[in-house]
Structure 1
Amino acid sequence: MSALNNLHPLVWNIVIGTVFGRMATSMSIPFLAIYLTNVKGVSPTQTGLIIAVSSLVGIATSFFGGYFSDRFGRKRVLLISIFLWAFVFIGFGIVEAVWGFFFMNALNGFCRSTFEPASRALLADLTEPKNRLIIFNLRYTAINVGVIFGPILGFYLGSSKSTFAFFIAAGVYALYGLSLLITYQRTSIQTGSKENEGPGNRVKMIEAFRITKSDSILLWSLIGFILAITGYSQLSSTLPQYLSNTSLIENGAKTFSFLLAFNALTVISIQYPLLKIGKKYSPLTSIMLGSIMVSLGLIGFGLARGMLVWIIVMMVFTAGEVLMFSMTDLFMDNIAKPNLRGTYFGAMGFTQIGNVIGPALGGFLLDTHGYDKPILVFGLLCFSSLLAIPILLGVMAKMKNQSLREAQT
C-alpha cells in the first residue's frame, strides 16, 4: 500500500469525510419511511413517492452534476453542494408538511448527484493512474464502514420516532464542508488537467452531451450496468419482503438483519484480497464476473433454508457485489475523455435506473407468484441480471476494436 504514503490531503479529506458522511446519512435517511408512516401518519403511497423522488432526481441530474464540475471546477461544485446538503438535513428536521419532506428529499437527491461525481473525479485528478484503483476502493471501504455504524446509531438515537438525527447529520456535513474549504486553502492542486479550471478546458454542455451520446462504449456499458444493478438491488428490496412474509422460513426479519450485517462485514473483509485478483484482469472482466456471482446469489436466495446455507449464499453474492462496484469507477476513469471526467462519472448516475427497475420487478413477481415460490421469483430475477453479460461482452469487443484502430493510426 505504498500508494497511500503520498496522497494529496484532499484525497484523505474526501475518504475520511465519506466515512462520517455515510454514517450520518445512514443513521437518518433509512428511518425516514418509518417516521413518516408511524409518526406523521403519511400514507404508504405518499411515503413511497417521498422516498423514490431522491433516486429519480439523482438519475435526472447526475449527468449535469458531473458536467458542472468539469465546466466550473471541482472546488466550486463540491463546496456549494455540500453546504446545501447540510441545509437540506436541517430542512428534514424542521418541516412538518408532506410536501416539505418531498421537496427536501428531492434536494437530497440533487446534492448527492452533484457532490458524488465531482468528488470521484477529484480523486482521479489527484491520483496517478496506476494508483486509482486503490483509491477508488479506499472510498468504497469508507462507504461500507459508515453504513455499518450509521443504522446502529440511528436506532439508538430514535430516528424512527423523531428527526433529531437529521440535525446531527447537518452538523456532520457542515463540518465536512468546512474541512474541504480549509484543505483547499492550505494546499495546492497540481493535476494533469489542472482541475479543468482553464478556459480552454471548459466544454459547453451541448458539446459534452454530444460527445457522451456518441460514445457507444459508454452508452452500452451503462445499459449493462443497469441490468446488473437490477439484480443487485434485490438485496434491499425483494429479499426483505420475501423473508418477512414467507412461510418457508422462521424469523425471516431476524435472518435479514443478520444477513445485512454479515454483508457489510464481508465487504470489508474480502475487498482487498479480491482487489489483488481483480488487478490481474481488466475492470470489465471483473464487473462481468461480479454480475455472474450476484446472479448465482439470487438463485441461492430462492434455494436457501438453513443459516449455514444463507451464509454461503451471502458470501457469493457479496463477492459479486465487491467485484462489480470496486471496478466501476476505474472502468469509467479508463474510458472517460480527460477534460470530461466529471461528466462521465456523472453519467454513471443513470445506472441507478436499475435501483428503480429492480424493486418494481421484484415486487411484481412477488405479487404474481406469491412468497412461497422463491425459486421461480429469484430465478426470473437471476435471468434479468444475467442479461448484462452479453451486453458487456459486446462492450469489451468494442473496446478491443477501438484499441486496434488507435494502434493503427
Structure 2
Amino acid sequence: MLAALKRYPAAVRLLLATTFALTLARALTLPYLVVYLANNFQLSVSEIGLLIGGALIIASLLSLYGGHLVDTVRTHTLVVVSTLVFTLAFVGAMASRSAALFFLCLVLINLALAVVDIAAKAGFCALLPVAERAEVFAIKYTLRNVGYAVGPLLGVAMLELDDHLPFVASALIGLGTGLAYQRLGDRGLQAAAPAQPRAAFAQVALGLARDRRLVYFTLGGVLSAVVFGQFGAYLSQYLMVTTSPAEAARLVGYLVTTNAVTVIALQHLIGRRISRQHLMPWLLAGMGLFIAGLLGFSLADSVLAWCLAMLVFTLGEIMVIPAEYMFIDLIAPEHLRGVYYGAQNLSNLGTALGPVMVGIALGQWWPGAIFYLLVMSVILAAVFYWMGTRRH
C-alpha cells in the first residue's frame, strides 16, 4: 500500500489524507454519542436511535445534491467549505442546548463528510487512469476502517479527561484539515469535464431516475448495506436477547475487532485485484461470503465460532465495497461522476434501516430468524446487482 501511495500524484494523496482525517474526527465521538444525548437531553434509547438514524438518512438524501455540487463547483472550494461546515457543526453540537439543534448539527456533520467523500472519489477518477482506480478505492476503504478502529479508542481516552474533549478534538481536526487543504489542495482540480454544459439539478435528477442500471445498483447497495452497514448494532440486539448484556458487549467487542483487523490486513491485497471486466463474479463471491457469514452467526456457540463467521463475513465486505465503487465508475458519464457517487451514497438508507428491521423481527419471531431475513436481503441485493450489470 505504501508503494502505491508513493506512486500517486500529490493531489490523490492529499484527498486520501483529507477523507481519513475527517473520518477519524467523526469516529472520536462515536463511543460517547448515545450517553451524551441521554445525559444532556434526557432522551430515551428509542429517541436516540431515531435522532442518530434520522440524521444519517437526511444527510444521505441531501448528499445527492452534494454530488451535483461536486460536478459543478471546483473541488478545492467544495472541500474547504465542507471542512469548515464540519468544524462549525461540531462546535454547534457541543454548544447545543436543545435536541433539535444537536440533530441539525449531526445532519451537517454527516453531510459534510459525505460531500468530501464524494469529491474524493470523483477526484480519483479525474486524476488516475482506469487501471489504478480499484487500488485507490481499496486504499481509501482501508484508511476509513483504520479511522473507525482508532477513533473510538482515542475518544474513550479523551473522555477520561473531559466530557467535551472528543467534540473539541473533532472540531480542531476538521479545522486543521480545511486549512491544510486550503494551502496544499489542487486549485485547478475539477471532477467533471469543464467543457460540458451544466444542467440544473432537477434535470440531472430526472436523468438519474431514467438510468435503470444506476437505479438497480442503488437498490442493491441499499439492501447490502442493511447487512454490513451496522452489523455491530444488529448483532448487539441479537446478543442482548440471547445472552446477558455483559456477554453481548464482550462478544461484540471481539467481533468489531475481528472485522477491523481483517479489513486493514486484507482490503488492499484483495481490492486491488478487482477489475471492471469481472465485477459481477466479485460481487457474487462477496454476496456468497455474506450468506456464509450470516449462517455462521446463526449456528455459532462459542467465541471462536463467532469470530470465524465474522472473518468470512468481512471477506465478503472487502469484495463488495470496491466493486460497488468500480461499477459507478464504469457507468457514470464523465460530467456526472459526482452526482452518480452521490446516488451510491443513498446506500446509507440501508445502513440506517438494518437495526430497525432487526429490532422489529426480534419482537415478532424467534431470535435466529433475523439471520435468515438478512440472507434474503443479500439474495435480493445480488438480484439487483445482476440486473444493474446487464446492458439495457
Q: TM-score, normalised by structure 1?
A: 0.89
Write the distance in 2 (CA, Å) between the matches of 1:123 and 1:280.
Answer: 16
Q: What does residue 102 of structure 1 align with? A: 103
Query: For 1:202, what is the secondary structure of its paired residue?
Result: coil
* TM-score normalized by the length of structure 2: 0.92
C-alpha distance 288-226 of structure 1, shift in aligned 2 (>3 A): farther
Distance 1:277 1:7 in 2: 18
1:259 aligns with 2:261: no
- Output the amino acid matched with 1:244: M
Equivalent residues of 2:229, 2:348 under 8 A apart: no
CA distance in 2 between counterparts of 1:156 and 1:243 reads: 26
Which amino acid is the alignment partner of residue 239 of structure 1? L
**Aligned partners of 1:274 and 1:115: how far apart in 2?**
25
Distance 1:297 1:25 in 2: 28
Q: Give yes or no for the alignment of 1:315 onto 2:311.
A: yes
Amino acid at match of 1:236: G
What pairs with 1:326-337 in structure 2 (closer than 5 Å)? 326-337=322-333
Q: After superposition, what is the alpha-carbon deviation per residue over 1:314-363, rounded to whole angstroms, capped at 9, x for unaligned? A: 11100001111122212111110001011101111211121132211111
**Offset of 1:264 from its aligned partner?**
0.2
Hey, what's the Cα distance between the residues in 2 that align with 1:161 and 1:42?
22
- Higher Cα Rg, which structure: 1
1:133: how far off? 0.9
> Does the CA-based 8 Å contact 1:50-1:101 persist in structure 2?
no
Equivalent positions of 1:368-407 (< 5 A) are 368-370=364-366, 373-374=367-368, 376-398=369-391
1:247 deviates by 3.4
Tell me, in whole angstroms, the C-alpha distance in 1 between the residues paired with 2:150 and 2:6: 27
Partner of 1:407: none
C-alpha distance in 1 between matches for 2:296 and 2:161: 32
Q: Distance in 1 between matches of 2:236 and 2:103?
A: 25
Deviation per CA, 1:42-81, whole angstroms, max 9, x where unpaired?
2333322321232121222111000011112222221111
Q: CA separation in 2, counterparts of 1:4 and 1:45? A: 43
Unaligned runs of 5+ in 1: 403-409
Which residue identity is paired with 1:196?
A
CA contact (8 A) 1:365 1:377 kept: yes
Indicate whether 1:364 and 2:360 are aligned: yes
Q: How does 1:122-161 map to 2 (within 5 A)?
A: 122-158=123-159
Please tell me whether the aligned partners of residues 58 and 107 of structure 2 are also in contact (alpha carbons under 8 angstroms): yes
Contact 2:230 2:355 in 1 (8 A): yes
- Structure 1 residues 160, 38: CA separation in 2 closer, same or farther (over 3 Å shift)? farther
Q: Matched residues in 2 for 1:87 and 1:247: separation?
A: 41
Tell which deviates more after alignment, 322-331 or 1-10: 1-10
Partner of 2:69: 68
Cα distance in 2 between the residues matched to 1:160 and 1:167: 12
Identity of aligned residues (%): 25
- Residue 169 (structure 1) shift: 0.5
Change in 2 beyond 3 A, CA 1:321/1:386: same
Distance in 2 (CA, whole Å) between partners of 1:41 and 1:217 is 45
Is the contact between residue 22 and residue 143 of structure 1 (CA under 8 Å) also seen in structure 2? yes
* Alpha-carbon contact 2:89-2:109 (below 8 Å) kept: yes
Q: Where do residues 213-232 of structure 1 align in structure 2 (5 Å cutoff)?
A: 213-232=209-228
Q: Residue 233 of structure 2 aligns with which residue? A: 237
| Alpha carbons of structure 1 residues 256 and 296: separation in structure 2 relative to 1, 3 Å | same
Q: Is the 8 A contact 2:226 2:354 kept in 1?
A: yes
Are positions 1:290 and 2:291 aligned together? no
Could you tell me how far 1:281 is from its partner in structure 2?
5.3
CA drift at 1:10: 1.9
Q: Classify the secondary structure of the residue corresponding to 1:237.
A: helix
Which residue identity lines up with residue 156 of structure 1 in the other structure?
A
How far residue 249 of structure 1 moved from its aligned partner, in angstroms, is 10
Q: CA deviation at 1:364?
A: 0.8
Does the 8 Å CA contact 2:23/2:113 hold for their aligned counterparts? no
Aligned residue pairs: how many?
Answer: 391
- Aligned pairs (5 A) from 1:80-119: 80-119=81-120
TM-fit CA distance, 1:303: 0.8
1:211 equivalent in structure 2: 207
